[in-house]
Amino acid sequence: MELTRIPYNAVSKELQLSLLLQIADYSVALVRMKGADSSTFQVIGSGTLVRKGNIQGVLTAHHVLHALKPPVEVAAHSEWRLFLFIKGNRLLEFSPLDFCEEEIGAPIGEYSENGPDLTFLRFAVSRPKATLDAICSYYPLEKPAGEVLKEFGVDRCCIIHTGFPEAKFEVEKSADQVTVKNLTLYGGQSGLLQEDIRQGSDGWDYLASPCDYGRFPQLPQSYGGMSGGGIWSAILKKNEAGELKFLKFALVGVNFWQRYPEDGIGGLRGHFVRSIYERAWRNRNLL
Over residues 88-120, the pLDDT tens digits come to 888 898 988 898 889 999 998 888 888 899 999
| Predicted confidence (pLDDT) per residue in 235-263, tens digit | 877 777 767 777 789 999 999 987 766 66
Residues 6+ apart with CB under 8 A from 146: none
pTM of the model: 0.85
Report how far Cα 258 is from the mean position of its chain's Cα atoms. Answer: 13
Could you give the domains of the chain? 13-281 (2.40.10.120)
Alpha-carbon distance 3 to 1, whole Å? 6
pLDDT for position 167: 47
Q: What is the pLDDT of residue 62?
A: 95
Q: What pLDDT digit, counting tens, does each position of 176-215 carry?
A: 555 554 455 665 556 666 778 888 888 899 988 766 555 5
pLDDT at 114 (0 to 100): 84
> Which of 14-18, 71-75, 169-173, 246-250 ranks highest by mean pLDDT?
246-250
C-alpha–C-alpha distance, residues 60 and 62, integer Å: 6
Mean pLDDT estimate for the chain: 80
Distance separating alpha carbons of residues 144 and 162, to the nearest angstrom: 23
Section 13-40 average pLDDT: 84
Q: At residue 13, does pLDDT exceed 50?
A: yes
What pLDDT does 36 receive?
Answer: 82
